[in-house]
Amino acid sequence: MSYLFTSESVSEGHPDKVADQISDALIDNFLAFDPESKVACETLVTTGQVVLAGEVKSNTYLDVQKIARDTINKIGYTKGAYMFDGSSCGVFSAIHEQSEDISRGVDRTSKEEQGAGDQGMMFGYATSETENYMPLALDLAHRMLIELAALRRENKDITYLRPDSKSQVTIEYSDDNVPQRIDAIVISTQHDDFDNEVAMLAKIRKDIIEILIPRVVAKLPENLQALFTDSIKYHINPTGKFVIGGPHGDTGLTGRKIIVDTYGGKGAHGGGAFSGKDPSKVDRSAAYATRHIAKNLVAAGVCEEVLVQVSYAIGVVEPMGIFVDTYGTCPFNMTDGEIAKKVSEIFDMRPAAIEERLKLRQPMYSETAAYGHMGRQNETITKTFDQLNGESVTLDVELFTWEKLDYVDKVKTAFGL
């Protein structure tokens, strides 16, 4: 019997994502001026206020207030009417030095012997159902909000949009796990005030269905375009008026959208958030590494779908173990345990090796903090960072290195494919 599966996404203007983006902007600035910085930074945003807290070990000093304000303005919170804007909000910093009890377990004389920054388990997932090896429902939910943000910034076809928005997509799958159609789409977008609420709802619904959705569909491959039928149930701003939003509508905190950040409920999640953490924290680096493994396994033809788990003890160099689940999609006679053993031979999962393999000491994290950390485009961009003392650094930064298919040949060779 067919079944339904749903995933959601939230925009860059969602309060939790505002917090994530501020935390990761701080990470990038620390790494730009001191690549060996150790940082764990949490952000809280609410009406007119930003609170920064966390631990740092670094040789650089940052104007954290300016970084927070610049991030907020870039997102689009630039008007007093939003009750939260980068130019006027208060920014309180309670960032302090990292505990020696933690650093002594992580730092080593030899970089290769760096211990894991925390205990825990991390998961990576990949599926062949989309070109970027991501679950379809989540991929579509992200695409809708990326396009909605583009429409907001263009301010031409739709002129009333505000930064906060959410989406949700429900896919019908066949018994053999193949997407058949889109059953329902939910989009809630913050907007300017209207005099007539009935007319407002009608216009927003019309614009979303007739302007946004066609723009999204046009960028999809033909097989996915066919899933958009006239039978889709649309729920557009189902609660009605959505003028009050962003940090004024809800308090935002770093790390509260971990499922949006990863696989939309497919696979599994170890519970650790990513944003605000430097790559010595395996919550972040090992989650990227397991995604890299999963994607390369599927691309190499080892399986059609896979979940990869790795686990660590704080301060211990070698992982506790690697687990692989191919959901019965491996086309040749090999158990998941045998696959996991080969994976551990191909991929060095020591924390320092992960950092080096995926180039994680770059200031590459601001771009991850909205619209998902996985399934994104690997590319190199130029970024400039400035200090109040006039110091400036311009770097070529390679983004989303864990999305590269650079281990496919090694995997094929190891598995005899």
Residues in contact with 81: Cβ distance below 8 Å, sequence separation at least 6, in sequence order: none
- Binding-site residues for L-methionine, in ranges, read 55, 98, 250, 281
Q: Residues 121, 127, 133, 136: is their CA dihedral positive or negative?
A: negative
| Contact present, 12 and 163 (Cβ < 8 Å) | yes
Place of tokens 């962003």: 246
3-class state of residue 406 by DSSP: coil
Q: Within a 10 A sphere around the Cβ of 155, how many other Cβ atoms?
A: 10
Question: Annotated binding residues for ATP, as ranges?
Answer: 14, 164-166, 241-242, 250, 256-257, 273, 277
Residue 101 vs residues 60, 97, 108, 377: alpha-carbon distances, Å: 21, 12, 13, 38
d(CA 51, CA 23) in angstroms, rounded, equals: 11
Instruction: Look up tokens 């170890």; give the residue.
Output: 270
List binding-site positions. Answer: 14, 16, 42, 55, 98, 164-166, 241-242, 250, 256-257, 273, 277, 281
Cβ atoms within 10 Å of 251's Cβ, excluding its own: 15
Asked whether 369 and 24 are in contact (CB, 8 A), the reply is: yes
What's at 93, amino acid-wise? S
Annotated binding site for K(+): 42
In the chain, count H helices and then E strands: 13, 13
Which ranges in 60-107 belong to alpha helices (H)?
Answer: 64-75, 100-106
Strands (DSSP E) found in 47-151: 49-57, 90-97, 120-127
Cα separations in angstroms, 165 against 18, 59, 139, 152, 357 = 12, 38, 16, 11, 35
Bind-site residues for Mg(2+): 16
Amino acid at site 16: D
What is the b/e burial string over 265-274, where b = at least 16 CB atoms within 10 angstroms of the residue's CB? bbbbbbebbb
Please count the residues of the chain: 417
Three-point CA angle 163, 166, 167, nearest 5°:
135
